[in-house]
């Protein structure tokens, strides 16, 4: 009997997994509830929709672990990274994309992929799979998994957790006061793609005070839980101290204006699309009411007349207690035919989510095609993420790619730049093997 795979969820992880499997001759079905039903954060009917930032973070292989992860994925045949490279927009050292073109690219690849069937329907419960049968499934429904499926996953795996996620506003490019801003990347790296909105000391503290006093959007009781550090709303960060933003999201380090001066604080704006007609407020995830976002963020001089194309939103995210549920290859411990992938596993970030879908698909393909099994160890970012989701810990939390999760080098290198370069060189040699 022919072995088949069901992939549930058409986000980055599901799209990546479905394409990898189908393009290697494995009959695959991709099921997503769009366009019949949408989550509170989704708007597009396309696959691989980006709901928060349009940046996939740094593309620097030797200085940033997420940049290294992208290169590992390229060498493993990632369709998502191929899509990102094809639809990128200028963003200095970061890999940012035109989000509509990016999703359209992924959707076109999936729709034209042989051996792939696409269905639009909501999956309400985990599929029944015989642990010795010919059917496999990957659940890649993401952090906004529907209530019915969430409840079924919770009842069958136990220990589901909830945490908040927040996205930043987007403003019209033509509404930015360029006379009150300057372009440039930190330390002169890149091609001057960011618009920098400086603030004086007086302007900064007035902004912080207004931010702290602003009214936040109401959250339902079932949505209340822990806030993941990497998606911390700007008003929550400000509540930790009046100077917190000046040493974090609004830090002026590495930025100099046209007069050669370093501002007291700086908000960076990054292109949201290839045409450069929209910019997002970098690091300004928020849960303020829309009217308050308009009032408070317009206090930044360069945004005094800003037209908000999209306000920031905050929504529930869900992930499982992966170490108690999953094996290293993303399969479920009590059923080796059932896999999870994406942010629901406890990897955090666009690239990390896509990577988990790619890895789960590779492991399934190894088994179905009778290939030698790929073993990713902690010398690679891929392997380190597999270790994270499968290693028992008292307080399991979502994890981004970072050099700290890689296996240490045999020789100690004090200089961080050289150490990261050595870790990346070793990782690429390992992934190539």
Task: Please return the burial class of 221, using the count of CB atoms within 10 Å of its CB with bins 0-12, 13-18 and 19+.
Answer: exposed
**More confident site: 377 or 51:** 377
User: Per-residue confidence at 223, pLDDT binned at 50, 70, 90?
Assistant: very low
- Calpha distance 42→15 (Å, rounded): 16
* 366 part of a folded domain: yes
Q: How many CA atoms lie within 13 A of 70 on its CB side?
A: 25
The pLDDT value given to residue 294 = 97
pLDDT digits (tens, 9 = 90+) for 66-110: 999 999 999 999 999 999 999 999 998 899 999 999 999 999 999
In terms of DSSP bridges, do strands 170-172 and 278-281 run parallel, antiparallel, or are they unpaired? antiparallel
Instruction: Give the residue among 214, 263, 268, 266 at the shortest CA–CA distance from 239.
Output: 214
* 346 part of a folded domain: yes
- Calpha distance 77→72 (Å, rounded): 9
User: Per-residue confidence at 141, pLDDT binned at 50, 70, 90?
Assistant: very high
3-state secondary structure 396-412: CCCECCCHHHCCCCCCC
Which of 316, 342, 359 represents a domain boundary (last residue)?
A: 316
pLDDT digits (tens, 9 = 90+) for 118-133: 999 999 999 999 878 8
Same domain, 216 and 87: no
Question: What pTM did the predictor assign?
Answer: 0.78
- Calpha distance 411→419 (Å, rounded): 10
Beta strands in 193-290 (DSSP E): 195-199, 226-227, 265-271, 278-281
Number of domains in the chain: 2
Same domain, 19 and 147: yes
Same domain, 49 and 89: yes
Domain range for 347 is 4-160+320-426
CATH of residue 385: 3.50.50.60
Which of 316, 332, 351 represents a domain boundary (last residue)?
A: 316
Q: Among the residues of 125-275, which ranges form H helices?
A: 147-157, 201-213, 234-238
Which of 316, 346, 380 represents a domain boundary (last residue)?
A: 316
The pLDDT value given to residue 228 = 61
The pLDDT value given to residue 145 = 85
- Calpha distance 345→399 (Å, rounded): 10
pLDDT-wise least confident of 3-12, 192-201, 218-227: 218-227
Instruction: Give the residue among 353, 373, 395 at the shortest CA–CA distance from 69.
Output: 353
Same domain, 288 and 389: no
Report the chain's mean pLDDT, rounded to a whole number.
90
Same domain, 155 and 15: yes
CB 279 within 8 A of CB 305: no
The pLDDT value given to residue 53 = 82
Average pLDDT over residues 34-61: 83
């Amino acid at each position: 009997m022919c072995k088949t795979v069901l992939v549930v969820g058409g986000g980055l992880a599901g799209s990546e997994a479905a394409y990898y499997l189908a393009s290697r001759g494995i009959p695959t079905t991709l099921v997503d509830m769009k366009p019949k039903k949408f989550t509170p954060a989704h708007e597009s009917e396309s696959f691989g929709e980006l709901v928060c930032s349009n940046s996939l973070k740094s593309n620097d292989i030797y200085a940033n672990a997420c940049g290294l992860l992208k290169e590992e994925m390229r060498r493993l045949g990632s369709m998502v990274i191929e899509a990102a490279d094809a639809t990128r927009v200028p963003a200095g050292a970061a890999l940012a994309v035109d989000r509509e073109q990016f999703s359209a690219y992924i959707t076109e690849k999936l729709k034209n992929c042989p051996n792939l069937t696409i269905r639009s329907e909501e999956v309400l419960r985990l599929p029944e799979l015989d642990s010795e049968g010919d059917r496999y499934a990957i659940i890649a429904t993401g952090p906004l998994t529907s209530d019915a499926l969430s409840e079924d996953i919770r009842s069958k795996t136990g220990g589901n957790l909830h945490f908040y996620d927040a996205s930043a506003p987007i403003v019209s490019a033509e509404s930015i006061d360029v006379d009150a801003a300057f372009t440039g990347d930190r330390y002169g790296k890149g091609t001057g793609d960011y618009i920098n909105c400086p603030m004086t000391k007086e302007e900064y503290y007035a902004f912080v005070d207004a931010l702290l006093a602003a009214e936040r959007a109401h959250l339902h009781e079932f949505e209340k839980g822990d806030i993941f550090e990497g998606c911390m709303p700007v008003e929550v960060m400000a509540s930790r101290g009046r100077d917190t933003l000046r040493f974090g999201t609004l830090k002026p380090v590495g930025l100099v204006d046209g007069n050669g001066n370093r501002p007291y604080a700086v908000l960076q704006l990054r292109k949201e699309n290839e045409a450069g007609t929209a910019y997002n407020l970098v690091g300004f995830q928020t849960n303020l009411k829309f009217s308050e976002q308009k009032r408070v963020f317009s206090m930044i001089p360069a945004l005094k007349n800003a037209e908000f194309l999209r306000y920031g939103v905050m929504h529930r995210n869900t992930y499982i207690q992966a170490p108690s549920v999953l094996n290293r290859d993303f399969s479920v411990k009590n059923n080796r035919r059932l896999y999870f992938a994406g942010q629901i596993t406890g990897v955090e970030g666009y690239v990390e989510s896509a990577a988990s879908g790619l890895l789960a698909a590779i492991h399934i393909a190894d088994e179905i095609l009778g290939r030698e099994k790929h073993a990713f160890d902690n010398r690679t970012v891929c392997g380190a993420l597999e270790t994270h989701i499968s290693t028992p810990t008292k307080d399991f939390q979502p994890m981004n790619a970072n050099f700290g999760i890689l296996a240490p080098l045999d020789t100690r290198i004090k200089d961080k730049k050289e150490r990261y370069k050595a870790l990346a060189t070793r990782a690429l040699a390992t992934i190539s093997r």
